[in-house]
């Protein structure tokens, strides 16, 4: 499989919406129960891009086969240096390294932006979960389990929390020129 990673564009949203629709309808990685419309996905994408969060796609032969993005972990401003990652891969591209390549590129984009932590909130976070194994392979460490926190497809699901430290984590003050700090200062102006 020959694919490359690039920054997502508005033109990618129909395929991104299809990939996510499959995850909502058939998977447990997301606890969303109703497939969002293209319009809703466009609003979510626009909000993330306006706040300068990284949003990437994997493309093979002109076709988007997966996507990943970082977004706010929580809305309160003291959380601005921590992001939550999301990653979804087309069913026909799973198990071929697409997810790992997307996550590696997303980690680097978050590092370059000056973020200090990435948190993965993994639905159906059993030890056998491909998402848990992927994050472990990228040096995320386990930091919590929310037992029975979701109910989907007729079963209770645990949510696993995993975390990756970036840019020294909590060992030094934030970079005043980092993306989260610039965005925060803009809200104060």
For residue 25, what is the enclosing H or E element?
helix 13-26
For residue 29, what is the enclosing H or E element?
none
Counting residues of the chain whose pLDDT is more than 90, the rounded percentage is 93
- What are the beta bridge partners of residue 149? none
Residue 48: φ, ψ to 5°: -65, -45
The model's confidence at residue 96, banded by pLDDT at 50, 70 and 90, is very high
The model's confidence at residue 39, banded by pLDDT at 50, 70 and 90, is very high
CA dist., res. 30 & res. 62, Å (int): 26
pLDDT confidence of residue 51:
95
Q: Tokens for 80?
A: 């601005």
The CA-based dihedral angle spanning residues 52, 11, 135, 20, taken in that order and rounded to the nearest 10 degrees: 120
pLDDT confidence of residue 164:
98
CA dist., res. 38 & res. 153, Å (int): 23
Interval 60-73: pLDDT, tens: 999 999 999 999 99
The model's confidence at residue 173, banded by pLDDT at 50, 70 and 90, is very high
* pTM given for the model: 0.95
Q: Tokens for 44?
A: 């979510």
Interval 4-18: pLDDT, tens: 999 999 999 999 999
Contacts of 103 (CB under 8 A, 6+ apart): 68, 85, 87, 134, 135, 138
| Residue 124, pLDDT above cutoff 90 | no
CA dist., res. 157 & res. 150, Å (int): 5
CA dist., res. 170 & res. 132, Å (int): 24
């Amino acid at each position: 499989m020959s694919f490359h990673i690039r920054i997502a564009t508005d033109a990618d949203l129909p395929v991104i919406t299809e990939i996510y629709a499959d995850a909502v309808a058939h998977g447990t990685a997301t606890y969303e129960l109703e497939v969002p419309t293209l319009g809703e996905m466009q609003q979510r994408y626009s909000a993330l891009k306006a706040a300068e969060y990284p949003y990437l796609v994997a493309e093979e032969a002109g076709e988007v086969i997966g996507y990943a993005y970082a977004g706010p972990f929580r809305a309160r401003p003291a959380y601005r240096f921590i992001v939550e990652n999301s990653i979804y891969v087309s069913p026909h591209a799973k198990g071929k390294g697409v997810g790992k390549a997307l996550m590696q590129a997303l980690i680097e984009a978050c590092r370059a932006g000056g973020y200090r932590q990435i948190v993965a909130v993994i639905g159906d976070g059993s030890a056998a979960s491909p998402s848990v194994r992927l994050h472990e392979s990228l040096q995320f460490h386990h930091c919590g389990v929310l037992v029975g926190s979701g109910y989907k497809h007729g079963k209770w699901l645990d949510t696993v929390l995993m975390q990756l430290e970036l840019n020294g984590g909590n060992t030094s003050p934030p970079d005043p020129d980092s993306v989260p700090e610039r965005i925060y200062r803009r809200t104060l102006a």
